């Protein structure tokens, strides 16, 4: 008898659970955040899910590159998530494969998802050939974090703005075991205990080159998009400045790999990195009293320009059309409540959030906000991956490592890379 | 033994006729594996072979392009780099796996205290996942704070920029691979050593053979099937090296550790050029088949040689 009671109770429970799930919709949301960003995004999704039992969001995260592999293969099988996050420069390849939707008609009826509510620059970066393909969440760019105590110890009281000032500051901050700087008599380059700045040996090296090349108004592709159109003098000049920091001025370590660790342990006095690093620095400040500040990326050549990118949301073509309205409802909430996302260090581009005092009061943000108008993103072209992917032997990766790790002569390396890019673009 | 078994079978047959013949039963046992083999190995391999002659981009319809993927390979410096790196990796790794594996096996075969612990210690890296091995050795080979360089420093050797220099990065990957997989060849050699009858060594010793002569004229000839097996397996595995190199260097610096399998993955999935990736995979397959055939032939010739 008791067993019968338990059984019938179980049946009732199962029935009610299935009823509950029948009433709520679940949308799939994919993003490539790992590390602290991932926790922040999951927190926002959890907040939405708690408040909206009728529309549950299932967030799936893994690193960007395998995420896109999974997206393409599942799309080939006719299945896609309802929302896919990416970066503006990556959209073209998916547009070319017909995997993401043009949004102009879809968002026409929305009061939230329109240009007036966003930073205009950010909104327009998400267009491809004049058509809106994504809704921006944030922007990020390079800036320079500095160790306040080391700057004081070196007697630097004006923060560097130009390239020359940056190199001089880095020289004053570079110390050998006897406290001498590079260029001093008897400086011991083999026993440097503190370097002025970090210097990238990974894809961020060519991100920096892209900023410097833009400071010289260099062009990447020919007008028809079929050829590498580098101005070889300018391209060389920009790379040379980066290479010299390591091999000529000796103010940055050679072959560096763990940039934030070197900065936090005092091996380098400056760290060239993005705003996503701020939560970690805030933590170090709270735990060990690590004093840090932010300087804008130096103006080395004619005018300011800084490498940047951003996160955005796209709607895949193969997603269930019946869930499109639900996906938009969630995205409207997410972008307009992105103050929670700002905690991760990213710069929200929804005006009411980015202009709020609560945001601007967060440490370090104002210097990054100052750089927003000067942000340049890499060319968003169909063959973006073949030219720029960081985990493949792409021409830009090979070039960056050749120059920054092997101390290769810059001009021939630049010419080789440019020829390779043209060759890749010529493959149909 | 051979005569006893059929008679036992005959006895049971008189009592209950078997539902299936001997042959059918055997096929039924093989069937589950066969299904998976056809569905997940042979089937995709054949589709891949066809794909190599198309320009398929994963999404959309493939067009037949004949041999143009293979022609493109001959002009593709990335492919040639990958082919060369993979060949160098194989040529250096395989002999090391045999020599180090055999040396360890002989050492661990001697009756001494703690040899079980020794065997386990050498074998245990083999059960680790490739990504774990890659991450671990990235740290071990780190130039400034890595364990390997800190030992070299004790010996008065300047730090080696293991994974940061085009000229040494491949050796870093080779070192990692040896540490990771040598336990497996050691186990195979141990099994081979234990199959050699002790009487042969005794007889040779009575004839006054030196330890070197014992090794050269008893151990090596009787171990040759095992050496052949280890060589074949290591060549096949080395040609397919991917995971640890991808985790540790992603093929860099430059293209110095780019391997064929990574390039297949990169072309097919990262660059959406599935047809081209499949064509590279076909080339890899042809190379492996050729090596296996050459080796099998020379092994057979070697066997008849010993018998004579």
Can you give the pLDDT of all 308 residues of chain B as single tens digits? 344 444 445 454 455 666 778 888 899 999 999 999 999 999 999 999 999 999 998 888 889 999 999 999 998 999 999 999 999 999 999 999 999 999 999 999 888 888 889 899 999 999 999 999 999 999 999 888 889 999 998 998 888 899 999 899 999 999 999 999 999 999 999 999 999 999 999 999 999 889 999 999 999 999 998 999 999 999 999 999 999 999 999 998 989 999 999 999 999 988 989 999 999 999 999 999 999 898 888 877 766 655 43
Residue A8 is predicted with a pLDDT of: 59
Q: Which residues pair with A308 in a beta bridge?
A: A141
CA distance A90 to chain B (A): 12
pTM of the full structure: 0.86
Residue B145 is predicted with a pLDDT of: 82
**What CATH architecture does domain B66-307 belong to?**
Orthogonal Bundle (1.10)
Residue A176 sits at φ, ψ, to 5 deg, of -90, -175
Which of A261, A395, A398 to mutate against chain B (most B CBs within 10 Å)? A398
Q: B68 at the A interface (CB within 8 A)?
A: no
Decide if pLDDT at A232 tops 60.
yes
Q: Is B212 exposed, middle or buried (0-12, 13-18, 19+ CB in 10 A)?
A: exposed
Decide if pLDDT at A221 tops 70.
yes
Shortest CA distance from B253: residue in chain A: A401
Distance separating alpha carbons of residues B175 and B141, to the nearest angstrom? 10
CB A402 to CB B254 under 8 A?
yes
Give me Rg for the CA atoms of chain A. Answer: 24
Distance separating alpha carbons of residues A241 and A264, to the nearest angstrom? 25
CA distance B144 to chain A (A): 9
Distance separating alpha carbons of residues B141 and B139, to the nearest angstrom? 5
Decide if pLDDT at A106 tops 70.
yes
> Does residue A242 contact residue A209 with C-beta atoms inside 8 Å?
yes
Which residues from chain B sit within 8 angstroms of residue A69, using beta carbons? 269-270
Distance separating alpha carbons of residues A306 and A375, to the nearest angstrom? 5
Residue pLDDT, tens place only, A138-193: 999 999 999 999 999 999 999 999 999 999 999 999 999 999 999 999 999 889 99
Per-domain residue ranges of chain A: 26-141+309-376, 143-307+380-426
For chain A, what percent of residues have pLDDT higher than 90? Answer: 75
Question: Tokens 């009575």 belong to which residue?
Answer: B206
CA–CA–CA angle A201, A426, A210 (5° rounding): 30
> Does residue B121 contact residue B185 with C-beta atoms inside 8 Å?
no
Residue A159 is predicted with a pLDDT of: 95
CA distance B152 to chain A (A): 17
Could you say which DSSP state residue A400 is in?
H
CATH class of the domain defined by A26-141+309-376: alpha beta
Domain A143-307+380-426 has CATH 3.40.50.1000: no
Structure tokens that stand for A331 in this block = 């995205």
Task: For chain B, give the DSSP string.
Answer: -TTHHHHHHHHHHHHS--SS-HHHHHHHHHHHHHHHHIIIIIHHHHHHHHHTTB--BSBS---B-TTHHHHHHHH-HHHHHHHHHHHHHHHHHHHHHHHHHHHHHHHHHS--TTHHHHHHHHHGGGGS-HHHHHHHHHHHT-TTT-HHHHHHHHTTPPPP-TTTSTTTHHHHHHHHHHHHHHHHHHHHHHHHHHTS-HHHHHHHHHTT--HHHHIIIIIHHHHHHHHHHHHHHHHHHHHT--HHHHHHHTT-STTTT--HHHHHHIIIIIS--HHHHHHHHHHHHHHHHHHHHHHHHHHHHHHHHHH-
Identify the weakest region by mean pLDDT among A113-117, A278-282, A412-416, B58-62. Answer: B58-62
Q: Of A69, A383, A393, which has the smallest distance from its Cβ to B78's Cβ?
A: A393
Distance separating alpha carbons of residues A401 and B256, to the nearest angstrom? 11
Residue A24: band (very low, low, confident or very high) from pLDDT cuts 50, 70, 90: confident
Which of B54, B58, B59 to mutate against chain A (most A CBs within 10 Å)? B59
Residue pLDDT, tens place only, A382-425: 999 999 998 889 999 999 999 999 999 999 999 999 999 999 99
Shortest CA distance from B168: residue in chain A: A406
Q: B161 at the A interface (CB within 8 A)?
A: yes
Q: Of A389, A401, A427, which has the smallest distance from its Cβ to B270's Cβ?
A: A389
> Does residue A103 contact residue A331 with C-beta atoms inside 8 Å?
no
Length of chain B: 308
Residue pLDDT, tens place only, A352-392: 888 888 888 888 888 898 888 899 999 999 999 999 998 88
- Cα of first residue to Cα of last residue in chain A, in angstroms, is 74
Q: CA A106: distance to chain centroid?
A: 27
Shortest CA distance from B254: residue in chain A: A398
Q: Which of A274, A311, A309, A284 is nearest to A38 (CA)?
A: A311
Which residues from chain B sit within 8 angstroms of residue A99, using beta carbons? 59
Same fold, A26-141+309-376 and A143-307+380-426: yes
Helix (H, G, I), strand (E, B) or coil at A56: strand
Per-domain residue ranges of chain B: 66-307
Which of A253, A393, A395, A423 to mutate against chain B (most B CBs within 10 Å)? A393
> Does residue A364 contact residue A293 with C-beta atoms inside 8 Å?
yes
Which residues from chain B sit within 8 angstroms of residue A257, using beta carbons? 142-143, 164
Q: What share of chain A is helix, strand, coil (3-state, %, to 5)?
A: 50, 15, 35
Decide if pLDDT at A3 tops 70.
no
Residue B2 is predicted with a pLDDT of: 42
Helix (H, G, I), strand (E, B) or coil at A254: coil
Residue B308 is predicted with a pLDDT of: 39
Residue A6: band (very low, low, confident or very high) from pLDDT cuts 50, 70, 90: low
Distance separating alpha carbons of residues B233 and B98, to the nearest angstrom? 11
Residue A13 is predicted with a pLDDT of: 53
Tell which B residues from 77 to 136 touch A, by Cβ distance under 8 Å.
Answer: 78, 81
Q: pLDDT averaged over chain A? A: 91
Q: Of B58, B143, B254, which has the smallest distance from its Cβ to A255's Cβ?
A: B143
Which residues from chain B sit within 8 angstroms of residue A401, using beta carbons? 166, 252-254
Residue A10 is predicted with a pLDDT of: 55
CA distance B58 to chain A (A): 6
- Cα of first residue to Cα of last residue in chain B, in angstroms, is 30
- Provide the ipTM: 0.81
Residue A156 is predicted with a pLDDT of: 95
CB A393 to CB B258 under 8 A?
yes
Distance separating alpha carbons of residues A84 and A312, to the nearest angstrom? 8
Q: Which residues pair with A347 in a beta bridge?
A: A139
CA–CA–CA angle A284, A289, A295 (5° rounding): 70
> Which residues, including other chains, have CB under 8 Å from residue A175's CB and lie 6 or more apart?
A181, A192, A193, A194
Q: Which of A106, A9, A119, A170 is nearest to A321 (CA)?
A: A106
Distance separating alpha carbons of residues B159 and B179, to the nearest angstrom? 20
């Amino acid at each position: 008898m008791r067993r019968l009671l338990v059984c019938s109770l179980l049946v009732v429970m199962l029935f009610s659970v299935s009823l509950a799930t029948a009433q709520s919709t679940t949308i799939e949301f994919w993003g490539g955040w790992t590390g602290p960003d991932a926790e922040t995004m999951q927190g926002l999704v959890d907040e939405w899910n708690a408040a909206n039992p009728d529309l549950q969001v299932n967030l799936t995260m893994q690193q960007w590159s395998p995420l896109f592999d999974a997206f393409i293969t599942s799309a080939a099988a006719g299945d896609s998530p309802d929302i896919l996050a990416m970066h503006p420069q990556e959209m073209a390849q998916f547009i070319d494969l017909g995997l993401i939707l043009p949004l102009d008609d879809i968002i026409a009826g929305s009061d939230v998802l329109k240009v007036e509510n966003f930073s205009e620059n950010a909104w327009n970066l998400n267009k491809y050939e004049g058509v809106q393909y994504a809704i921006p969440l944030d922007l990020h760019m390079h800036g320079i974090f500095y160790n306040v105590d080391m700057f004081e110890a070196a007697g630097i009281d004006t923060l560097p703005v130009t390239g020359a000032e940056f190199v001089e500051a880095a020289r004053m901050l570079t110390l050998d075991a006897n406290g001498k700087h590079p260029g001093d008599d008897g400086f011991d380059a083999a026993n440097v205990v503190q370097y002025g700045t970090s210097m990238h040996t990974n894809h961020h090296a060519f991100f920096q080159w892209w900023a410097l090349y833009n400071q010289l108004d260099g062009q990447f592709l020919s007008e028809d998009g079929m050829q590498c159109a580098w101005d070889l003098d300018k391209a060389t000049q920009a790379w040379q400045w980066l290479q010299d920091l390591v091999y000529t001025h000796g103010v940055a370590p050679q072959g560096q790999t763990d940039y934030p660790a070197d900065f936090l342990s005092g091996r380098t006095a400056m760290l060239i990195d993005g705003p996503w690093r701020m939560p970690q620095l805030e933590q170090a400040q709270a735990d060990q009293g690590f004093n840090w500040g932010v300087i804008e990326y130096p103006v080395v050549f004619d005018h300011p320009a800084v490498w940047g990118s951003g996160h955005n949301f796209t709607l895949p073509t193969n997603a269930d059309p019946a869930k499109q309205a639900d996906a938009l409802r969630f995205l409207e909430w997410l972008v307009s409540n992105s103050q929670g996302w700002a905690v991760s260090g990213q710069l929200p581009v929804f005006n009411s959030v980015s202009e709020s005092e609560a945001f601007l009061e967060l440490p370090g943000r104002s210097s990054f906000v100052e750089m927003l108008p000067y942000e340049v993103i890499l060319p968003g072209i169909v063959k973006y991956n073949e030219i720029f992917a960081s985990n493949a032997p792409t021409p830009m990766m090979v070039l960056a490592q050749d120059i920054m790790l092997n101390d290769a002569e810059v001009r021939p390396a630049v010419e080789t890379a440019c020829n390779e890019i043209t060759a890749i673009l010529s493959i149909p | 033994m051979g005569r006893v078994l059929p008679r036992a079978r005959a006895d049971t047959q008189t009592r209950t006729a078997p539902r299936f013949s001997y042959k059918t039963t055997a096929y039924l046992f093989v069937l589950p594996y066969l299904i998976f083999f056809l569905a997940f190995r042979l089937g995709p391999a054949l589709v891949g072979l066809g794909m190599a002659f198309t320009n398929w981009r994963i999404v959309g319809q493939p067009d037949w392009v004949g041999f143009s993927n293979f022609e493109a390979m001959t002009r593709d410096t990335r492919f040639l780099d990958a082919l060369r790196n993979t060949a160098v990796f194989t040529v250096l790794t395989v002999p090391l796996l045999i020599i180090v594996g055999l040396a360890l096996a002989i050492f661990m075969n001697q009756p001494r205290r703690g040899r079980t612990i020794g065997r386990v210690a050498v074998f245990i890296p083999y059960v680790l996942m490739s990504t774990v091995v890659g991450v671990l050795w990235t740290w071990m080979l780190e130039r400034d704070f890595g364990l390997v360089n800190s030992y070299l420093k004790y010996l008065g050797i300047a730090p080696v920029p293991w994974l940061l220099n085009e000229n040494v990065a491949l050796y870093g990957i080779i070192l990692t691979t040896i540490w990771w997989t040598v336990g497996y060849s050691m186990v195979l050699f141990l099994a081979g050593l234990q199959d050699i009858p002790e009487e042969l060594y005794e007889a040779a010793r009575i004839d006054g053979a030196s330890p070197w002569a014992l090794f050269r004229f008893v151990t090596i000839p009787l171990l040759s099937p095992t050496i052949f097996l280890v060589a074949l397996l290591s060549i096949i595995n080395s040609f397919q090296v991917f995971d640890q190199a991808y985790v540790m260097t992603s093929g860099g610096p430059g293209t110095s550790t780019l391997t064929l399998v990574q390039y297949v993955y990169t072309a097919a999935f990262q660059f959406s050029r599935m047809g081209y990736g499949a064509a590279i995979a076909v080339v890899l397959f042809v190379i492996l088949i050729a090596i296996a055939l050459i080796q099998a032939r020379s092994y057979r010739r070697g066997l008849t040689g010993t018998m004579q």
